Amino acid sequence: MKRSKSGRAWMQQHVSDPYVKLAQKEGYRSRAAYKLIEILRRERLIRSGSVVVDLGAAPGGWSQVSGQRVGPAGRVVAIDLLPMDPLPGVEFLQADFASEEGLAELEALLQKRQPDLVMSDMAPNLSGITAADQARHYRLAELALDFARLHLQEQGAFVVKVFHGEGYDAFRAAMAQTFQTISGIKPEASRDRSREVYLVGKCLRKSSGTDEFNLE
């Protein structure tokens, strides 16, 4: 099959990307691993023995990094729509996090343990229509925030990928209602021209309640 010009340009950029090369050299499954490594360098979110939930985990860079950090006493529970090759110390569920069944299976895997960190690098398949893609992305981010609010332990943290633009301010406000501190991190491994940013929320507010947010 012939590649489109934009497909060829993406592939050229991908193979010459320093983080792609580094991931190959250091044995990480994705360049995304370096985004989490930088976030964890700035914010100490995982300790030995931590329980971590990885939403949108495939191909597994973030799960790899988390598995190494939590050590044998910790747990990483990961979910993705796509299959993911097994990783030591990581329990993986192939399911749709946005479905009731997927959520119930994920909760069953957690066995009532309250995570120290919930992180979401989830991204929907892009349609190319910016407004629709942005709305679908924020729907996933809202579901991840609801999950974090309901399951995290009080001192726990939440990391979520979002994009500047429509929906950003409302989502950040919902984060501020849920967590005592919020910060935004644009890791070096995040491509410069992307509007992507990672929001980190720490320590649940007691008043964050149990009702679902409605950002519409």
Ligand X SMILES: C[S@@+](CC[C@H](N)C(=O)[O-])C[C@H]1O[C@@H](n2cnc3c(N)ncnc32)[C@H](O)[C@@H]1O
**Closest C-alpha to 204, from 153, 162, 170:** 153
Nearer to ligand X, 176 or 196 (CB): 196
35 is catalytic: no
Which one, 79 or 204, has the nearer CB to ligand X? 79
Looking at 5, 21, 161, 202, which residue is catalytic? 161
Q: Least distance (Å) from ligand X to the CB of residue 147?
A: 11
Q: Compare residues 64 and 178 and give the one whose CB is closer to ligand X.
A: 64
Where would I find the beta strands (DSSP E) of the chain? 51-55, 75-80, 90-94, 117-120, 157-163, 179-185, 196-204
Residues forming the site for ligand X (CB under 6 A): 29-30, 32-33, 56-62, 79-82, 96-98, 121-124, 140
Contacts of residue 19, defined as CB under 8 A and 6 or more positions apart, other chains included, come to 31, 34, 189
Shortest Å distance, C-beta 60 to ligand X: 5
Alpha helix positions (H), 17-129? 18-26, 33-42, 61-70, 100-110
Query: Closer CB to ligand X, residue 30 or residue 208?
Result: 30
Sign of CA pseudo-dihedral 195, 200, 206, 210: positive
Question: So which residues are the catalytic ones?
Answer: 161
